[in-house]
Copies of this chain bind each other. A is one copy, B any other.
Amino acid sequence: MALSQVQALVFDVFGTVVDWRTSVIAEAEALGRAQGVKADWAAFADEWRVDGYLGGMAKIRNGEAPWAIVDDLHRRKLVELLDKYGVHGLAETKVDDFNRVWHRLGPWPDSVAGLTRLKRKFIISSLSNGNVSLLTNMAKNAGLPWDCVIGCDLFKAYKPMPAAYQGTARLLNLRPEQVMLVAAHHDDLEAAQAQGFRTAFVARPTEYGPGRGPDTPLAGAGNDRFDFAATDFLDLAGQLGA
């Protein structure tokens, strides 16, 4: 493998770098307590993620809905979910603030240390469907040491659309084979690979809760398709000599 060519590592963020579910549940529980509402906040988090974010993007990719940034997809779904889960009459500014929980997601335990090591040897950038402002705030809050912040609002094309990967290589002024995507999701990695990127799978077995991680376990499950498969960012740094 001509991996000596790789100059930049670009990272999927939600689920790969940050543990969105734990963070969203914690803030939703706090909101519930403050509002005197009891509900299944884990289900709330999953519904927000799957229907609001993944579903919202799918409609845009399919041409059923016009372009909107992830902050707006989250906001629309949030209004519906607050009603469904029994939180009524929240001030607009408080809804706005709660919507920004996605700007305050906590990293996985290895993320900051792993990125810091990888940054010594490679350019490191986000390559997220999140918008640049969300990713910038998240990085500042979580201490993610990006060299560059790339979000799909720069391309108005959500992963796994080819334009997201092509646009990233162009912005970095690199050939596709000089860029490696690091992600916990097979569909993202396959799409990057189809555009000529190198790929590294990192297992995040608890992304959707205990026993509900996507595309795991590490061994088997077809991970030998990718250039690397790692248990976390520190393992990846070790494998890459960083």
Check if B173 sits within 8 Å of A133, measured CB to CB: yes
Q: Quick check: is A123 within 8 A (CB to CB) of the other chain?
A: yes
Chain A residues 12 to 36 lying within 8 A of chain B, measured CB to CB, are: none
The 8 closest A-B pairs by CB, nearest first: A133-B173, A136-B148, A148-B149, A132-B171, A133-B172, A136-B147, A140-B147, A123-B136
Q: Quick check: is A46 within 8 A (CB to CB) of the other chain?
A: no
Please measure, in the bound complex, the distance between the C-alpha atom of A140 and the C-alpha atom of B7, giving whole angstroms.
Answer: 13
Check if B147 sits within 8 Å of A139, measured CB to CB: yes
Number of contact residues on A: which range applies? 20 to 34
21 A-B contacts, Cβ less than 8 Å apart?
A69-B173, A71-B173, A123-B136, A123-B137, A123-B140, A125-B136, A131-B173, A132-B171, A132-B172, A133-B171, A133-B172, A133-B173, A133-B174, A134-B173, A136-B147, A139-B147, A140-B147, A147-B149, A148-B149, A154-B154, A154-B171
Q: Quick check: is A215 within 8 A (CB to CB) of the other chain?
A: no
Please measure, in the bound complex, the distance between the C-alpha atom of A131 and the C-alpha atom of B148, giving whole angstroms.
Answer: 12
Residue of B nearest to A139 (CB): B147
Q: Quick check: is A177 within 8 A (CB to CB) of the other chain?
A: no
Chain A residues 83 to 135 lying within 8 A of chain B, measured CB to CB, are: 123, 125, 131-134
